[in-house]
Structure 1
Amino acid sequence: MFMYANKTALITGASSGIGEAFAYSLAAQKCNLILVARNETKLEALAKELSAKYNVKTTVIALDLSAIGAPQTLHQEVQKHHLKVDLLINNAGFATYGYFEQVSGERQHEEVMLNVTALVDITHAFMPDLLRNRDGGLINVASTAAFQPDPYMAVYGATKAFVLSFTESLWAENRKRGLKVLALCPGSTETPFFDIVGASEASIGIRETPQTVVKNALRAFEKGRSHIISGRQNYWVAQVSRFFSRQSTLGIVERALRPQNKI
């Protein structure tokens, strides 16, 4: 059992969606929080509410984690506050949608920097904290998109496949060192994700609430699992590649994600 009370959790992408749901759930269990996202106004409002409601310490760090050097800046800011991170939740990320060559190259570069580079650098920076007392935790948010290539979301699917592989490797490295590691793989979730992607059709399956995803994630985390696919239907969607050839799987996913106004 992982004890959250009086520990400190750092949550990236904490201003909305799954990150915000993690913040509420952990604060309710008396876990102090470091909330990280670009929107300082939202973070401050959330921090104020959680501090008042649950009597926990909340620290806000407003930062664009896709920028070069941002993970190092984040680590320095945490040190300035004389905080030690016990639980790291790498939730920040976004997707792009459409024909690869028609999506902004700059935007897709930013997607890789946030979903992959920042996640790796932040994990590396805080790993000594997580390991220091042999009771730390790491949760990296991947996706059901990690289990097969994703036409029209090619970069997103590739970044999440990286996150899943990277996280499961860390689980194997650290399972006997007192560090719990989990790759969280949600499917379609009721968050601003699809507004950012810019396409409501870029989803497969029934959308879960962020609260349900977080509940499933923490249950799996506490059991010491390497990964969790949130939701029974999402689990079976992720297994498609086990029952069909790669080429057939690609055809199924391409039809499911194809833009409605195909050019």
Structure 2
Amino acid sequence: MKLAEAKGDWALVTGASSGIGQEFAIQLARAGLNVVLVARREERLQALARSVASEFGVRTEVIALDLSQHGAVEQVKAHLDGAGIQIRLLCNNAAAGRWGRIEATPAPVYQQMIELNTAVLVAMCHQFLPHLTAFPSSAVINVSSPASYQPVPYMAVYAATKAFVQSFSQALHGEWKERGILVQTLVPGPTESEFDAKAGAYESTLTRRGMPAEVVRASLVGLAEGSPVVVAAKGTYKQRVFAGLFPSKMVIREVGKMFKPPK
């Protein structure tokens, strides 16, 4: 999908109030796409909408809600249908994580995380398929993680949800490519954002953080190239070889060392 051909059409970005989602909104607006911004924090969304509209001359639509709540995806779809907005590019970026021993976090937090990271992503793809098929070419960007490549002790639920995203998104690419819809699985590395603070991150061996702008640039280049998977993280080849070839006992032990909480 060439962004130049989608100029004036609409992109929808979830988790748009900060980090990678905010950067997607900026770079897509710079490319001439109108943007629908979805997240919980309305003030931030409104400020971002004013900024991109002023700088790039695009139209914006703000939808402030918690996507993990029952019926939220249907609300988004009904809102846009009522406004006469058809989505040509869908970016499923919203996600939540949690560091630490599984019993240290209440079960409802994990239930909400599973809903947001997996069920909402599937529902967004399902709900907006009629929009996507209305164009000669369209795209879905589903944001995954290197955590998807192996079990991650002390981030067990988050890693499992991203393994779901990885598998689902690539399978959906196989289903939809003949319909002119590119489904891209985006794998960013650790990135400067609010994610770690919200997830209760503590000091670990993961010390390097990339910039959201680099991740989004790689994703948009991948759209133009028709890439089903875009990896914007360093070291994932070695990571995948290690996870695929070495005994599971060793993989679990060594990955666990990286994320084990301080005493």
Fold shared by both chains (TM-score > 0.5): yes
Alpha-carbon shift at residue 203 of structure 1 (Å) = 6.4
42, 45, 51: which one aligns with 2:44: 42
**Structure 2: stretches of 5+ with no match in the other structure:** none
1: CA distance, partners of 2:123 / 2:168: 12
**CA–CA distance in 2 between the matches of 1:192 and 1:137?**
26
Q: Give the partner amino acid of 2:148.
A: A
| CA displacement at 1:177 relative to structure 2 | 1.6
Residue 112 of structure 1 aligns with an amino acid whose one-letter code is I
* Contact 1:206 1:233 (C-alpha < 8 Å) held by counterparts: no
State how far apart, in whole Å, the 2-side matches of 1:202 and 1:137 are: 35
Corresponding position of 1:95 = 97
Question: Cα deviation per residue 1:88-109 (whole Å; 9 max; x = unaligned)?
Answer: 0000001011111221111111
Indicate if the aligned counterparts of 1:213 and 1:230 stay in contact, CA closer than 8 A.
yes
Deviating more after overlay: 155-164 vs 199-208? 199-208
Counterpart-to-counterpart distance in 1, 2:140 and 2:28: 14
Q: 2:178 aligns with which of 172, 176, 179?
A: 176
Instruction: Please give the alpha-carbon distance, in whole angstroms, between the structure 1 residues aligned to 2:236 and 2:135.
Output: 35
TM-score by length of 2: 0.95
What is the Cα deviation at residue 49 of structure 1? Answer: 0.5
SS in 1 for 2:235: helix
1:238 to partner: Cα distance: 4.2
CA offset at residue 7 of structure 1? 1.6
Distance, in Å, in 1 between the alignment partners of 2:90 and 2:56 is 20
Instruction: Determine whether 1:56 maps to 2:58.
Output: yes
Residue matched to 1:249: 251
Q: Distance in 1 between matches of 2:74 and 2:26?
A: 26
State the number of aligned residues: 261
Superposed, which structure 2 residues align to 1:152-167 within 5 Å? 152-167=154-169
- Contact 1:186-1:230 at 8 Å conserved across structures: yes
**1:23-72 CA distance string (max 9 Å, x none):** 11111111100000000000000000000000000100001000011111
> Which secondary structure state, in structure 2, belongs to the residue aligned with residue 172 of structure 1?
helix
CA contact (8 A) 1:205 1:234 kept: no
Deviation at 1:242, TM superposition (A): 2.7
TM-score, with length taken from structure 1: 0.95
Aligned AA for 1:103? T
Q: Which residue of 1 aligns with 2:69?
A: 67
Q: Which amino acid aligns with 1:259?
A: P
Structure 1, unpaired ranges of 5+: none
What letter corresponds to residue 2 of structure 1 in structure 2? K
Q: Please list the CA deviations of residues 213-250 of structure 1 after superposition, one character each: whole Å capped at 9, or x if unmatched.
A: 11111112221122122133344334431342222111
Match of 1:213 among 191, 212, 215: 215
Aligned to 1:185: 187
Distance 1:169 1:205, change over 3 A: farther
